[in-house]
Every structure is written in structure tokens, then in C-alpha cells.
Structure 1
Amino acid sequence: MKYKYKTAQDGRQRPTVRLLAAAIGTIMLAGCFDGDSDSSGDNNTVDKGPLLPSNGQYQADIRRTTNGVPHIRANDLASAAFGHGYVQAQDNVCLLAEAVVKARSERAKYFGPGPDNINIINDFSFKAQKILSGAEAEYPTLSDESKAMVEGFTAGYNKYVSETDPSDLPAECRDQPWVKEIAPTDLLAHYRIVGQYASGALFSTGAVFLAIPGEDPAAAQPTPVMAAKSDMALPDVSASARTLASSRDNYQETGLASNAWGVGGDLTEQGRGALLANPHFPYTGHRRLYQVQMTVPDYLHINGAGLLGTALPLINFNDRLAWSHTVSTSRRFTMYELTLKPGDNLTYIKDGEEKPITSETFQIEVNTGGPNPVTVERTFYFSEYGPMLSANAVTSGGLPKWGEAGTAYTYRDANENTSGLLDTWLGMSRANNLNEFQDVFRNCGTTLWVNSTYADADGNAFYIDSSSAPHLSEEALGVIEFKRGLSPEYNQLFDGGLTLLDGSTSRDDWVEGECAGLTPYEKKPKLVRSDWVQNSNSSYWSTNPAAFLTGYSPLYGAEEAEINPRTRLGIKMLQNPADPGFPDAPAPAGQDGKFSAQELISVIWNNRAWYAEAFLPELRERCTMIGATPVNGVDLTPWCGPLQTWDGLYDLDSVGAHIFRVFIGNYRNQFDTDLTVAFDPANPVYTPAGPSAAGKGTANDAMLQALATGVQALEAQGIAPDAQLGEVQYYRPSGDVPPGGTPVFQSQPIPWHGGDGSVDGAFNAIGVVTDNVAEDTIFPRIAPSTIANTAGLSDGSGGVDGWLIARGTSWHFGLEFTDNGPQAYGLVSYAQSTDRMSEFFTDQAERYSNKDFRKLYLDESEIEANVISRMEVSGTR
């Protein structure tokens, strides 16, 4: 098995790409730096082990323990994946089926054009991005291990679908024609979409669709294939694509977040390693995490959770090591400005030579309400780097349209190919020590768009940005930095997440090397410690302030830059493990300052928030000073009272948390002008700080004005000053209908603790989602209409009050290695199943609400002692 790929701040106003001046194209400078284009990577292989059933029959023993967690035991890897595919379908068949419809570019076929024609735009964009055709092309190149897992998982899914009466499926997909058996290449196509969440998927809502010479809206319109259908009136898809493509302000923001700590033996009760895993992912859609324990004797023994559809869990532990992931600040794609041949929009000049822009015509089917879908087609264009791109749409007119300034734009995606996805995580899962874990990345393994934070039984703590970052030469990187200093427009583009390179010179090509254009292991940010490493979505630079990481490619993120409030609070707790800080919460590691597994899960649930600890004492003082004097017409007296007694935590019974939230939601917009202590790279945790004393305690006080504005939002919704957080913040799933239906709530509100990671600065980060479909899907959900600067407080319309939580802390646990093996405690906060009729639909949500963690079983005797059901599944390979 080879891991090598075979082919190619919170509270601050962020720069956007929407205001970028068209003049940016004039500074695509020729190189003037000496470069470094070296790369390296080993091609080590490992013993293949038992991959396929010797008798041609998949066979898996499935035992479910507490809260429906499946424990799968099989004699070969394919059969273990077979069992995994079967149980995932049992619990989440509708989501898996819709994911395949999406990957096959068949949403418009089954569900029509969709709101703003998004189904047509997505279907064509995924065709152009080679989601399915690329999977079909790369499938023969997969390692034997990956083939075993993909084939096994597919067969398990198909077994469940084939043996289940369509009328017995959950309401979201009951009797639907799109729930059917799939091919292994369909599953691999889904992986390609997963891999491009933070790259190509950002362009699938219109930027690729609009990329035609001249960007003429009429030419972008799909046309019917058959003349007999020429009278079919398609909606204005081009206009929709431009609106959708222009709606994104920042290409660094993915909407995903996480906390992870690797604690070394110096800071654990047992003197071995420990891990805090706390992904903040959506509670709906394809990015839900699903827990499974898998055993193939003498080959694989893991417990963890992965995104729906992945044949192997992704955030795992085995007997010797454990890891978690956090979304990286690295860049997973680069844009190229092509210099066109004069008078020819389909030829560009590179290194003085003419290069063709090629084209390909794709067809999709669209349900227009008739008895059969109508086939329409469109032509798309490609450079050597990948699909062409409407940079004009991406930057809302900042960059020129194709051909307007003698230029055109395209991009290269670091995660276009995901053939190594399962190999990477299998290698991590089978590693027995730090060196073997690191070997996965030495051999070009990649975790797509996330960092890895690790701990092991030997007491090591390890961090690596293991994402797919493009490998550029030192010369090319030097030119980027030169342009950023020279041009505010170019720097604005870069800060907005768009790395614009010069397509007229091979200087800006990726360095291929052993890792096919990805940055090799020796150039990735990484750190080994015996005390701790951490990441909460700030850059690698602040992994541990005792050993700042510097000198890496700017494509990995910023150095000596402000860190987000979750990172600040996490580092504070790690630096002061025996100190409860403010307020008088339990010390993170207890009185001895040494972490245990239960203390680590409790760190997540202690519900501390950075901004409360930083600003609550000052706000209380100013509340006392203002007394009954109105601020912007608001009497703050009844609202300041709860703040004076609030415990500073975001627990269910906390009184005052909701008031502070709407205060900080407004005050954070004034950090740049009101804070008096500037950010200091030597002290990143405690700076910036210091509210201004101007007008302190008067009606002109910036803090009190922010409080008054927030209070007005609470008063408008009839929320009382003495409301407990659990009365106004809750989880409540909705759906129960197929695409196009009217969703309903599926449970009573479940009180939800935690705070918004960006607005409140809460470590246990949760949040409101305003999309009216489940994440990455077209399944309808009930979504709030929210009030600005309140962290998502509903305006009371649509039957939604308070804060309706739909993302954040999901699969999370605390783990410690002991002399008796790993001991871990945690939950999947929203539960295993999306089927409302399942007993595993909200059971863990109730446990999360009550802070009732469960043990995570890896030991065979513990598994067997806690079995609540068992079955054997089999099928012919």
C-alpha cells in the first residue's frame, strides 16, 4: 500500500474579495527571485494483511452498545467495511442516497432546477469538475486496500437498500426512486466532493458555470439536446449563477471549526499521552459524524467517527495512539491569471509558447414537471491547471471577465484527486507509534483540509498541518509576498482566500516532486512536545507559544497574527491547568494540574468563554457607574443586575449569558477602534485588550452602548433579563419530508449548553444555521430568520424563537492512555441516526444536554459486557 498521491478572527472585520479593483491584473509580475524547487517523499509500503474474504463472501459481526454505537468485527478489511456500510445505511440511508445523487450530477433530474436554479448549476459544475468521471478514471488506480474498503462499504449499503422495502424507509426518502443500489465509483465520487469542501466546492455554485469566453449570459444558458424540446423554457440560470457566485465574501471561511489538544506525559495523571477531540461540525447533512468501532484481528482495532459515507472513521484511537482534526488555515487551491493570445480567447501564452484552452460538452437531465426529465447541455472550458473560472463573478466585478483585459482565469485544486483518502486514514489507524504515524505523511498522505493533533501511550504530543497545501517554489512564494507588499488590491485578494498566480510563467507552477504538487512532509508545519500541542483553527504558528512555528509557506496561514478567542482560551487553560481562572469554574486539570480523560471531556463542557473572562469585570463596573441613566433610551438597570451575578459560563442554568451575548455581539464590531492595547506577537493570548476609558460609565460609553443595542433585541423578542440560557437556547431537529416538502419539527426543544465560538468566544462552540436545507443537501429544514449582531437570535418568525442550534460540538471525547490501555469518554452530541423513528435519533442529544458522557469501548470484554443488540450480515462479493 502506498500513501503517495498518484496525480495531481473572530470579532474583526475581515477583508473581502468583493471590492477588489480590476487593476490587480496589472501587477502579475515576472519573476525576479532565485527559487527552490526541491521536493522529496518516500514510497514505503506496509504489509497488506487480510483485505478480501477468502471464500468470496462478505461476513461481519455487528454488535451495538450504548446509544447504538456499532462494533464491527470481521476477518478481512472488505468485510469490516461491508458491515460499516450496512449500519450507516440503517441509521442514515436518506442522507447517503442523496449524497450519491449529488455526486452523480442528478439533483436536477430528480428534484428539478431547485431554488435559484442551484441544482442545474451544481450538476453542471460537478460534471466540469470531473466528480463522477474522475472517480471512474481513478478507481482502477486505487490501492488494494482502498478498493477493498470502497467495494465493501458499497456492498453493505446495497445490501441494506435491496432488502428494505421502499415504503419502510424514513420519511425523507420513502418510496423515492433515487434510493437505489450504487457502484463503488459512486462512493468514490462522493469522496471527491468531500475532498473539495474547502476548494472546488466553493466554485460549484456559479463561478465554474459562468466561465465562458466573454462571459456572455446568453451563451451560458444550457440548451435542450433534442430539437423537439427547443420550446422548453429554462429559467435564467446564468443570472442565478452570477448572484450565487458573487455572494461569497471570503474563500478562507468554510463554516467549520474544531478544538483539539494533544497532551503529553508531562501533564497527565498516568504520565502517558491524552487527547481532547472536539470537532464543531453541522448537526445536519453529509458532514454529520458517525461513530463506529472496527476490528479485523491482528490488523485493525479502532474506535472513532467519520463523515457519512467514509468507509473508515476519521477521528480515531487505537490501543496505542489517538488523534483529532481541526480545519486548517492552509489554502487548498490556487488561481491562475492566463495571458491570452491577442484576438484569441481560447489560446494563452506561457513561457512564450501558445497553450490551448480546451472544451468539453456535458449533459444533465432536468425535471421540468413533465412525465420525463429533459436533457440539456453546456460546453465548459479547461486549462492545463483545471476548469476555467469566472474571476469576475468570484470578486463581484473586481477582476475582468474572460477576454476583457486580455486575460482569463482558471484554478488548480489540491484535493481534485482523493484516491489516497482511505489509505491515509488506514495508515494512521494501523500505526503503533509516533514514527509510524509520521510515516503516513512522509509518504505524502494528506488529510485534505484539516490539521492533525495526536497523543500516544508513550507520552508524545504531536501536531502537524497535514492538509493538502500546494507546493510552490521559494521563488514563487517570494513573488507572492512582494505583490502583497506592493499592491493593497493583491493583498486584499490574498487575505480573502484567493491566491492569484501568474499563468504566463512556469515559475508559478506547483513543484511536482514525489507528492504530485503537494507540499512534502519536511516543509509542513509540525511540532512534537512532551507537555502539549493544540489547535482551535488559528494558524500553526501558535500551536504552543513556548515554541512558535515560523518560516513556513504563507499558503499554510499567517505567522505572528492575531489568534481567535477559542485558541486564546484553550492556551490559557493549558498554560494554567490548575487555575479555574475567571470565574470560579473547576480547574481544567483539577488541583494536581494533571489531566485525566474525564477532566478533558469536562474541559469541553465547562462552558468557559474568552470574552466573558476578558470583559465581564469591566462591563460590570460600567453598569454600576451608569446606574439608572438611560443609554440610547434604554434603562440598563434590570439587565445589568443579572450580569453582576452571572457565573460567566454558558451552562443551561446560567442567568446573564444571553445578555452578555448580545452585548459582545455588538461590541466586537468596535474592537478595532475601542481596544487600547494592540496585538503583540510576543503575547498573543492576552492581546489585543483594554477597552477605552473614553466616556466610561456614561451614555457615551462604547461598551454600554453595545449593551443597550443588544438589550433592545432581547426586549423585542420578549426575552426576560432573568432567563436561563437553557430556556432560550436549544437543539430541535426538523425535516421529515423529501426535497421540495414542507419540514416539521421532529422533537421537542432540547436545552443546549455552550456558546458561539466567534461571538461569545466559547470553547464549547455551538451556533445557529440559517440555511433552509440540511448542510450540503437539499433536504428542507426549519431555519430561523435572525437579528444582526446577536449570534443568531431568531426574530420570532416561522415558529422559531431564541437560539436554534444546528452546528458545533459534535463527536467529542476526552482520552487518556493508561497502563490498562486507552480510557475515553464522550458523545456524538446529536446521536447516530437521522431517522426520527430510530431509538438512536436524539438519545445522545439528551445526554449532551444533561452533561452525561458515556465510555467509549475498545476493549473486547467491555464491548461484550455492554451489547444491546447483535446481528451477522453477509453478502456475495
Structure 2
Amino acid sequence: MITTASRRLAPVLAPVLTTVLAASLLVAAPASADGGRYSADIRRTEYGIPHISAKDHGGLGYGYGYAFAQDNVCVMASWVLTLRGERSRHFGAEATSDDVMDPISNLASDAYYTYVRSSGVLRRVLARPAPYGPSAELRALVDGYVAGYNRYLSDTGVARLPDPTCRGKEWVGPITASDVWMNLLDLGRLGGSSSFKEAIAASGQAARKPPQEDKPDRPDGKTPAPGSNAWALGREATRDGHGMLLADPHFPWNGSRRFYQVHLTIPGVLDVSGGSLYGTPMVQIGHNASLAWTHTVSHADHFTLYRLTLVPGARTTYLVDGRAEPMGRQEVTVAVREAGGTIGQVTTAVHTSRYGPVLGMDWTRTSAFALADANAANLRFADEWLAFAAARDVPALRRAQDAHQGMPFVYTLAADSGGQTYFADTSIVPHVTDEQAARCRTFDDPGLLVLDGSRSACLWGRDADAVEPGIFGPAAQPRLARADYVTNANASPWLTNPAAPLTGYPRVYGDTGTRRDLRTRVGLDMIAQRLSGGDGLGAAGFTLDTLQRSATGKRNLSAELLRTDLRALCRARPVMTASDGTKVDVRQACATLAAWDGRARLDSRGAILWREFFLGLNRPHRRDDGPPAPPDGWWKVPFDAAQPLTTPRGLDVTHPVVESALADAVRSFTAAGLPLTLTPGQAQRYGTVPVPGCTEGEGCFDRIRTGGELGDQGRYPDVNTGSSFLMAVELTPAGPRTRTVLTYSLSANPASPHHADQTELFSRGQWVSERFTEAEISAYPKLATTRLR
């Protein structure tokens, strides 16, 4: 969900360094080295899903850490090296880090994480009392998780690990509580500092390099990539009057940001099931007996940049209100494996300001930029998720949000068994009012908030109801409670429910009255058709079955909006001109697209041809050798804020790019010998498993993303992002009825039976019926139990 930063920093850093157990088996694990403080039971049902129970939070973490290590020890071991800043020591400085959201060089990654660790921020946060620092329950959970993970590693031995990826590797070893806290801190920073790792690491080099020519460039920031769908359905939208929820987060399919499916129970205290990001000992997206919640990435700003005015002749001193302030300087030393295997050291520095770290990009003789991250010292979200797990209804969840105010970069959507629904952006947002933004903004760029660092009047403000200064409090946050539905697909809060548009919130939370992306529009249309019964799925109103079928219908909104006009063009012009002037016969392609079912199912013949055509529509193009034309100027009806759900629409067939996009797509297929009827099942894979779905830009709800372009063999690179942990929940008075599918399966271990079993389910459009109650779990005929004492 975070896009990759500009690679302009490469020249700056380059000089720095040229078990599935038998049925009903009960395993008594050997005595542990922790003095017997922890105990837990791990029971596994279908697809290896673990149900962990313990008498307290420490024991619960112990069982969870052990279970997670059984399935994903190698991913965690590698990520711990990243968090410790030790990748260069083991893999060399030039290799790419394992951060799938922002892969940078090991050296840059190590410099950043070493800086964070040595800055003391984690020590300061952990020293604070709750709710500013972790609660006693959370600390016990983390400590137990570490002990459980290490217990598995000790019991198994590095040389006997079942995963060949890291079996016998010298970089695999025990973890510490500091590693888990760092992982949580880093998770909170995904919407801010983690987007600027490379720039922060380059700070010391930028401070020493020769002055550049002054220029008014803006720094390159990164914003969360689109991803995740969420529906919370209330009693007026469901057939039986129950609350329902659809969770469809779009997180990476590889690496440390995957979800792990788990059920956690402390009798009488906690009973929660759902998706938990790797290395975190709590559920982020899930449900208990009467409440379900999920998240999507917020459109709010979670950081600001400050433009520093430098003192003439002093590139590490800046002015505030006319007074000179020296930058701080923090030395960072990274151990590096050199040629021949020797270990050397590289020392650089990170410069800091009153606002935060100074970025090593666009640093001239007169100005530099500093990053102010609202989540730089935030761990409150971890206790907030524990509070969600214990809440019994929407009002209790809201109280938990007001108390902790910790959500780092996500919206929250929830539903309860009483049929209440709720949306809120309670994420940590810098207190920058519209008036202050207008007064202090230094760049006219709506996508990046850069404030004037030379005036203290441009510091973030404060709200009386905020848990800490510098952020907006609950009263300013966009919130909506409904009895029908609330929804989000990563757009701003404006059309959470079109019947009650949200307005009046500060601009840093997002825009209003602007064009919605196609995924948002198709999701809202899917709900509207289900509520009217116009989608062909039976009587109006949601049931658990129709919720599942709606969510995985594989609609392609761009085709629905444009195909009729394209057909008309095909009839009028069977031979079209490619972008290089070549004449191309498009009759067979037009017939293929006319016969296509308009979906992105495995066997949808023509879906890939449409994608390549649509991609061509959106590539920059020129008219009469002039400047590039707008990439989407081919819409027939432009966006109208009064009709946001139906505009833009239609294809302007007179626009020259329409003809050339289809001709180019046909010619590329023909040149490679590919059938125009190429299907998603043929073109898209995750390993050996065919994957249905289409892309964000096409207007696909349950979207996928591949790692590159269509190859000559008719295959895209493997799917790397998209629907990840699908969860559909109906909250009945008798308890939850839940269907799930973990698209990439439970284990990253290629030798595990649970490495691709749920991926095959996802490929076939099937779901797992969750076992939540004790009776459901005990009824599983192949129940495997591990008892840790």
C-alpha cells in the first residue's frame, strides 16, 4: 500500500560503499527454559488454522509465537535482521532488502533502522504508562510471543527447520521483545517514516556533498497505494436484520506484511479470530462473538514535510523566526560483508531538526526538507486492537478508539450483532487546519503537504480532546454511524454512504466533491444492486451467501462503461491505425471483446485483451507532436460532482488514442503468437496456481496486481498484491457465521502442506467455513493439538 520512493538517492549512497500432525494427536512439548511461566494449547483445524488458548496474555502470546514460528520462521528471521539493521552484515550492502513495500539497498535499510534503534524513541515510548505506552497485558503478550517463538526454534534446531529457505543458516536465531516492539513501531510508520527510509539514510551524505544549484523542486514523497475494500452492513441492508461485515484488505502476497490467520482465546477475557500481520501478537482485522471490524488505508495526511530555510554558508543550520538552529547529528554505523567475506564498517550520519529527520534529497545551499511523522512514536494502536477484540458492540469499539487514539494510517469500519454499522477515520493526523495549510504551504501540490519550517506559527496545533499535542482529537474526525451500510475502498470519507455524504472535516483528512476511482464506484454499485435485488442474486438484501458472491463476482467496471462505444467503433472501422502508423485488422479482436463475459474469472476469454487495451488508453500520448495529452481525456462524459457515482462514463471514439490503443494491443498479441482469447487463468499465477481477477485501474473490486507487463509467453509476473485475507461475517444472536480465505495460504514454507492450499481455494472461488465455537473446533475430525507447558 506504500509505493516506492524516487531512486534519486542511489548516487548519494553509492559512494558510501562501492506439521501436519496425525489425527487427534496430543503432543506434550518438553519442559521450557522459561521456568514454566507460560502455558498454552494450539489446536489446528482445516488448512492448518491455529486456535490458541491460554489462561492469560503471556500464555496466549507464548502459544501464538510458537504456532507462527512453525509456519513462518524464515520470514520472521529475515525481517528481524532488517529491523536490527543487520542485512548488510549477512547479505552485502548492494543487495535489496526484504521490505516488499519499499525494497531498497541493504545499506540504506540498515542505516535507517540503526538510526531508529539508536534514536531512543522505542525506549522512551516503552517507558511511558498506558495509554501512551503499552499496557501490562500487551507487554505480557509480547514477552510470551517472544518466548514461544524461541521455544520453537530451540525445540526444532536451526539445522532441522522444515523450511529449506533458512534451514541451517547462520543468520537465524532467537528474537527479543525489542524486535517485536520495533516491528510494531515500523508498522505504525508505514504511512510516514517508512516511506522515506532511503531519504533519511542519505541525510549524512547530502549534508556533505557539494552545493547544488538552487531550484524550486519539491521533494518526492510517497503516498499509500490504493488497496483494500470494506463493507459494514446494518440491519436495514441484511435479509435477516443482522449486522454483517466484509473485510478485503489488499496487502502484499509475499514478505513480512502478509496476514496470518489465527484464533486467540483467554476464557472469559478474550475470544477473537481473524487476520494478524506477521510478527504482531494480536488480530488487526477480525471478529469476536458479537462485533466485527476491518480497515482500509486512509486518504488523510499522516505526516507533513517542513521546508527548512538554511543559514547562508551553513548547510546544517536553519532559521526559525529569524533565529539560527543547528541541526542535530546522529552517527550511524553499519556492519558490512565485503568481498571475501570479511566484515567492515560504514559510518554515516542522520541529521535531525525540531520537526524530525532531515531528508537527503533536494538539499540545496539555501533549503532542505525535514519529515514530521505523526506516528513516529506511536504504539497505542496495539492496545487499541486488543480493546477491539474485547469490545461487544459498536459503541464499545468507539469508546476504545477515543481512549487510545492510536490507529496509525487506516480507516475503521465495524458492525455488531444489533445491526449497527460504523465508519471512522480515527487515524493519527497532524493538526493542520485548512487556514494554517493555506498560510504555511510552500508548494502548490495537493498530493503533498509541505509547510514553511522557518516560522513557528506553522507548527502543528493541538486539540483539547486529543491524547497528545499535535494531532486532531476525536471531535474533528470524520465519522458515520448507520443502520444500512458504510463502505470504503480507499477513497476519502466523502461518499462512505452516498445517502449521507460526509463533509466539513479538515482538508488533511481528504477531499470532497471530487472524482471517485472506478473501484470505489463499482463497490458502491454492487451494494446498490444487492439492496434493490438487481444483481441477479435473488431477493433484495444481503445474506452471507450473497455477500460472498458479490465480493468475488469479478466485475470489470471499465468494460461495463466503455465496451458499447468500442463496439460501435469496431463496426465503423474494422482496420485501425497503431501508434506507429501501422494498419491493423481488429475484427477478430472486436469479436472476442463482444463475446467476452465482462468478468475476470479464470476462464473469461478476452479479459486480458481488454486489460492491454485499457492500459494503452491510459498511457501518456501526444497529439500533433505537441505536449502529452491528459491520459484519460477519452471519456465521453466528464466527471460531474453532482453525479459522482455515474461520471465519468462512455468512450469518446473520436479521441485518437482509442484507435491506437486497440491496434497496439492486437499487434502485440499477434507478434507474440498469443491468442486474443487469453484468459486470466492462463496469464496470471501465484507460483503454480492460476489466479482470477483484474487490476485496480480497470475498475475491479477484488483486484490483483502483478509485478510487471505481459510477457511473450502470455504470462504476467506472479501476482504480488491484491485481496489477501477475505472475511465475510454474519453476526447472528446465536453467534458469528464466518467465511474466510487467506489468498496466499498460511505458510511461506514451500515444503508445508499449507503453502498453497487456500490459494487453490481462492483460485476456484471457494471459502473456508470458520470454526469459532468450542463445539465447532472439537468437531473437526482431524484436530491436531500441541500442548505447551
Same fold (TM over 0.5): yes
| 1:820 aligned partner, one-letter code | A
1:851 aligns with 2:769: no
* Deviation of 1:132 (Å): 7.9
Q: Secondary structure at the match of 1:376?
A: strand
- What is aligned with 1:92? 72
1: CA distance, partners of 2:741 / 2:119: 34
- What is aligned with 2:650? 690
1:535 aligns with 2:488: yes
Is the 1:129–1:387 Cα contact (8 Å) retained in structure 2?
Answer: no
Is the 2:290–2:735 Cα contact (8 Å) retained in structure 1?
Answer: yes
Residues 380-779 of structure 1 mapped to structure 2, 5 A cutoff: 380-392=350-362, 401-402=363-364, 404-405=365-366, 407-473=367-433, 475-479=435-439, 483=441, 490-492=443-445, 494-495=446-447, 498-513=448-463, 514-516=466-468, 517-577=470-530, 587=536, 590-627=537-574, 632-669=582-619, 672-694=632-654, 702-732=657-687, 749-758=688-697, 760-769=698-707
Matched length = 729
Is the 1:59–1:872 Cα contact (8 Å) retained in structure 2?
Answer: no
Most deviating of 590-599 and 820-829: 590-599
| 2:549 aligned partner, one-letter code | S
1: CA distance, partners of 2:718 / 2:110: 31
- What is aligned with 1:325? 295
1: CA distance, partners of 2:281 / 2:748: 18
1: CA distance, partners of 2:781 / 2:616: 50
- What is aligned with 1:26? none
* Deviation of 1:617 (Å): 1.9
Q: 1:138 to 1:249 in 2, by over 3 A?
A: closer
| 2:343 aligned partner, one-letter code | P
Is the 2:637–2:649 Cα contact (8 Å) retained in structure 1?
Answer: yes
Is the 1:623–1:704 Cα contact (8 Å) retained in structure 2?
Answer: no
* Deviation of 1:630 (Å): 6.5
For structure 1, which runs of at least 5 residues remain unmatched after alignment? 1-8, 20-53, 220-245, 393-400, 733-748, 770-785, 787-791
* Deviation of 1:579 (Å): 6.0
Measured against aligned partners, the alpha-carbon deviations of 1:18-64 in whole angstroms (never above 9, x if no partner) come to: 99xxxxxxxxxxxxxxxxxxxxxxxxxxxxxxxxxx99621111111
Is the 1:268–1:596 Cα contact (8 Å) retained in structure 2?
Answer: yes
For structure 2, which runs of at least 5 residues remain unmatched after alignment? 9-33, 97-103, 129-133, 212-216, 620-629
* Deviation of 1:675 (Å): 1.8
* Deviation of 1:184 (Å): 0.2
Is the 2:71–2:748 Cα contact (8 Å) retained in structure 1?
Answer: yes
CA RMSD of aligned residues (A): 2.7
* Deviation of 1:250 (Å): 5.3
Is the 1:441–1:466 Cα contact (8 Å) retained in structure 2?
Answer: yes
- Which of 289, 293, 306 is the matching residue for 2:259? 289
Q: Secondary structure at the match of 1:634?
A: strand
Is the 2:42–2:52 Cα contact (8 Å) retained in structure 1?
Answer: yes
2: CA distance, partners of 1:463 / 1:641: 44
2: CA distance, partners of 1:473 / 1:762: 35
Residues 161-172 of structure 1 mapped to structure 2, 5 A cutoff: 161-169=153-161, 170-172=163-165
| 2:743 aligned partner, one-letter code | S
Structure 1's consecutive aligned runs of 4 or more residues displaced over 6 angstroms after TM superposition are 16-19
Q: 1:693 to 1:506 in 2, by over 3 A?
A: same
| 2:53 aligned partner, one-letter code | R
Measured against aligned partners, the alpha-carbon deviations of 1:804-861 in whole angstroms (never above 9, x if no partner) come to: 3221111002111123211111200110001111110100011111112111222111
* Deviation of 1:578 (Å): 5.2
1: CA distance, partners of 2:672 / 2:70: 41
1:182 aligns with 2:175: yes
Is the 2:383–2:404 Cα contact (8 Å) retained in structure 1?
Answer: no
| 1:81 aligned partner, one-letter code | G
Q: 1:92 to 1:133 in 2, by over 3 A?
A: farther
Is the 2:246–2:729 Cα contact (8 Å) retained in structure 1?
Answer: yes
TM-score (norm 2): 0.87
% same residue: 31
2: CA distance, partners of 1:859 / 1:367: 51
- What is aligned with 1:344? 314
Measured against aligned partners, the alpha-carbon deviations of 1:138-193 in whole angstroms (never above 9, x if no partner) come to: 33333212211111111111111111122222122111122111110111112222
Measured against aligned partners, the alpha-carbon deviations of 1:254-301 in whole angstroms (never above 9, x if no partner) come to: 345101001111010220211111111111001111100011011111
Measured against aligned partners, the alpha-carbon deviations of 1:87-143 in whole angstroms (never above 9, x if no partner) come to: 111111011111111111101111111237811111112223347843344333332
| 1:435 aligned partner, one-letter code | P
* Deviation of 1:601 (Å): 1.8
Is the 1:810–1:830 Cα contact (8 Å) retained in structure 2?
Answer: yes
- What is aligned with 1:68? 48
| 2:517 aligned partner, one-letter code | N
* Deviation of 1:535 (Å): 0.5
| 1:729 aligned partner, one-letter code | Q
- What is aligned with 2:139? 147
2: CA distance, partners of 1:578 / 1:446: 34
Is the 1:134–1:189 Cα contact (8 Å) retained in structure 2?
Answer: no
Is the 1:599–1:814 Cα contact (8 Å) retained in structure 2?
Answer: no
Q: 1:94 to 1:629 in 2, by over 3 A?
A: closer
1: CA distance, partners of 2:269 / 2:395: 18
2: CA distance, partners of 1:372 / 1:873: 44
1: CA distance, partners of 2:737 / 2:402: 29
- What is aligned with 1:120? 107
Q: 1:130 to 1:384 in 2, by over 3 A?
A: farther
2: CA distance, partners of 1:873 / 1:717: 56
Q: 1:653 to 1:579 in 2, by over 3 A?
A: farther
| 1:106 aligned partner, one-letter code | E
